């Protein structure tokens, strides 16, 4: 077997995937961890929701700039600096929340948490795309790309389910500050390890300084905007589902078990995300998006009418089948549509869209649950799913039929340039 014919893991090293997986956990813990800590320390659900929204706002404002910096200067320095800074800010936040500092100071620090959040998931995708283009044999490139995007999306789905679950365990078992501090420690150790991993070397990923770069206006192409809106909808879905589920379980005196019930959705979601690579080529990406997003929508429409925990578990299990493949498909479109030399920028925009959606939906759904009732809050996941379906319909119209099937992975030179 030649080096080009070797499995992807031979090119990344065995340590890469577990390191990258654990390094993305803090990102999934931030929104829920901040919400949990502020509510416990300051006694206000409303303030907790505002702080979660500020985390999302910080990620939206600065996250894409972090991706652009990685495209220009390479990942190693950018990821290491953001990981260390964000870990320290999380520790400071835990102290400030319990202090006599005004609420405005807490909100400002929450914004900084989002602004300095290390973008491990999009950086990982950009790295792997570059490795596939530069080192995998052309005949194996497309299949390897499909499987890699499926794995990456399954990993994201897993951490966005397990992250809130871990927050609940640490908050209940130790203290409300433990999830935030724990996320900071994970960043200082694993995000730093991810940054320094050989796959982040400049000689592999390069920088915008020595490779062609597509114009910034290409980031506003309608098909790429539709992809961002679709992933934003998935983020809304995550936030709305977890928050409304927490209210649902709280009404039954078991709010601390919301993370366990939420995990049921993640099992099917991760499994079907990995199964995307096995789906027939005739089941095109644009059709896949609409089909699985529609399944999400149908499942969420049942949530307001569920009257038992068992019924909720069954509904979430069905919904999970649709979530994973939808996310895989959206990231695949994003990877293909990224302008040359701006892959990290696009992947970071997509990652930021998820956490912004999660933050916004958590704040809105929490306020609805508190002021109007759980029944109204349980409609919010359906609203989010409808946005995902709508974006999928727009994507169908924007994707020419001749390219609707799984598009061949670009040549090695183009992929290497896209890796930024």
Q: What is the pLDDT of residue 207?
A: 43
d(CA 71, CA 66): 9
Alpha carbon of residue 45 to chain centroid: 24
- pLDDT tens readout for residues 31-54: 778 877 887 888 776 677 788 788
The residues, ordered by sequence, that sit 6+ positions from 142 with a Cβ below 8 Å of its Cβ are 406, 408, 409
Q: What is the pLDDT of residue 354?
A: 84
Residue ranges in 174-206 assigned as alpha helix (H): 178-186, 192-196, 202-205
- pLDDT tens readout for residues 96-150: 999 988 999 999 999 999 999 888 887 887 788 778 877 777 777 777 777 787 7
Q: What is the pLDDT of residue 416?
A: 42
Q: What is the pLDDT of residue 155?
A: 80
- pLDDT tens readout for residues 316-365: 999 989 988 898 888 878 877 777 767 667 777 887 788 788 878 888 88
Residue 405 pLDDT > 60: no
Between 209 and 394, name the one with better pLDDT: 394
CB contact at 8 A, 285 and 337: no
Determine the number of helices (DSSP H) and then strands (DSSP E) in the chain: 19, 0
Burial of 169 (0-12, 13-18, 19+ CB in 10 A): middle
Q: Domain-by-domain residue ranges, the chain? A: 16-407
Q: Which of 69, 145, 128 is CA-nearest to residue 406?
A: 145
CB contact at 8 A, 223 and 395: yes
Q: What is the pLDDT of residue 88?
A: 93
d(CA 187, CA 93): 15
d(CA 245, CA 242): 5
Q: Please write down the long-range contacts of 43-49, taking CB distance under 8 Å and 24 or more positions apart.
A: 45/366, 45/367, 45/370, 46/366, 46/367, 46/370, 47/103, 47/106, 48/366, 49/362, 49/363, 49/364, 49/366, 49/367
d(CA 384, CA 334): 20
Lowest mean pLDDT among 19-23, 48-52, 354-358, 401-405: 401-405
CB contact at 8 A, 389 and 297: yes
- pLDDT tens readout for residues 162-216: 777 788 778 878 888 888 999 999 999 999 999 888 887 644 444 444 455 666 6
Record the pTM: 0.74
pLDDT class of 414 with cuts at 50, 70, 90: very low
Phi, psi angles (nearest 5°) of residue 372: -110, -40
Instruction: Classify 410 as helix, strand or coil.
Output: coil
Provide the angle, in degrees to the nearest 10, between the axes of the packed helices 25-42 and 178-186: 160
CB contact at 8 A, 197 and 127: no
CB contact at 8 A, 97 and 106: yes
For 136, 222, 292, the CA distances from 379, given in Å and listed in that order, are 46, 29, 19
Between 414 and 246, name the one with better pLDDT: 246
- pLDDT tens readout for residues 275-312: 776 777 778 888 899 999 999 999 999 999 998 889 99
- pLDDT tens readout for residues 210-265: 455 666 677 778 888 999 999 999 999 988 988 888 788 878 877 656 767 777 88
Burial of 24 (0-12, 13-18, 19+ CB in 10 A): buried
For 71, 101, 222, 340, 408, the CA distances from 347, given in Å and listed in that order, are 11, 36, 16, 13, 19
d(CA 377, CA 359): 15
CA-derived radius of gyration, the chain: 20
pLDDT class of 413 with cuts at 50, 70, 90: very low
The correct CATH number of 16-407 out of 1.20.1250.20, 1.10.3470.10, 3.20.20.70, 3.40.50.720 is 1.20.1250.20
The residues, ordered by sequence, that sit 6+ positions from 356 with a Cβ below 8 Å of its Cβ are 56, 57, 59, 60, 232, 235
d(CA 156, CA 276): 15
CB contact at 8 A, 390 and 267: no
Q: What is the pLDDT of residue 418?
A: 43
């Amino acid at each position: 077997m030649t080096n080009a014919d070797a499995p992807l893991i031979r090119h990344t090293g065995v340590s890469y995937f577990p390191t990258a997986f654990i390094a993305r956990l803090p990102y999934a813990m931030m929104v829920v961890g901040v919400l949990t800590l502020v509510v416990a320390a300051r006694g206000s659900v409303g303030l907790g929701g505002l702080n979660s929204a500020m985390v999302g706002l910080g990620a939206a404002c600065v996250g894409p700039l972090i991706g652009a910096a990685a495209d220009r200067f390479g990942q190693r320095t950018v990821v290491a600096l953001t990981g260390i800074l964000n870990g320290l800010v999380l520790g400071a936040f835990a102290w400030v929340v319990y202090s006599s500092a005004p609420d405005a100071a807490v909100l400002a620090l929450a914004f900084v948490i989002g602004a300095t959040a290390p973008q491990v998931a999009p950086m990982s995708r950009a790295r792997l795309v570059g490795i596939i283009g530069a080192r995998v044999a052309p005949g194996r490139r497309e299949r390897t790309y499909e499987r890699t995007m499926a794995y990456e999306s399954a990993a994201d789905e897993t951490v966005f389910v397990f992250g809130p679950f871990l927050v609940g365990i640490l908050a209940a078992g130790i203290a409300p500050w433990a999830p935030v501090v724990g996320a900071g420690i994970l960043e200082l150790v694993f995000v730093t390890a991810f940054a320094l991993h050989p796959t982040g070397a400049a000689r592999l990923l390069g920088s915008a300084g020595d490779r062609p770069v597509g114009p910034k206006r290409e980031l506003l192409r309608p098909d790429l905007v539709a992809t961002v809106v679709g992933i934003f909808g998935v983020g809304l879905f995550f936030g709305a589902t977890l928050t409304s589920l927490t209210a649902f379980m709280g009404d039954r005196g078991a709010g601390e078990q919301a993370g366990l019930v939420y995990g049921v959705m993640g099992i099917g979601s991760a499994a079907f995300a990995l199964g995307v690579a096995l789906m027939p080529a005739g089941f095109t990406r644009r059709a896949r998006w609409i089909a699985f997003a529609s399944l999400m929508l149908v499942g969420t429409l049942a949530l307001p009418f569920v009257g038992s925990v068992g019924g909720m578990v069954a509904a979430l299990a069905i919904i999970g089948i649709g979530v994973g493949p939808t996310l895989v498909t959206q990231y695949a479109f994003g990877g293909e549509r990224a302008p040359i030399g701006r892959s990290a920028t696009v992947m970071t925009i997509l990652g930021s869209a998820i956490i912004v959606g999660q933050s916004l939906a958590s704040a809105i759904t929490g306020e609805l649950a508190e002021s109007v009732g759980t029944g109204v809050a349980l409609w919010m996941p359906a609203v989010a799913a409808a946005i995902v379906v709508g974006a999928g319909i727009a994507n169908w119209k924007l994707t020419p039929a001749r390219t609707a099937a799984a598009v061949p992975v670009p040549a090695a030179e183009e992929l290497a340039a896209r890796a930024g």
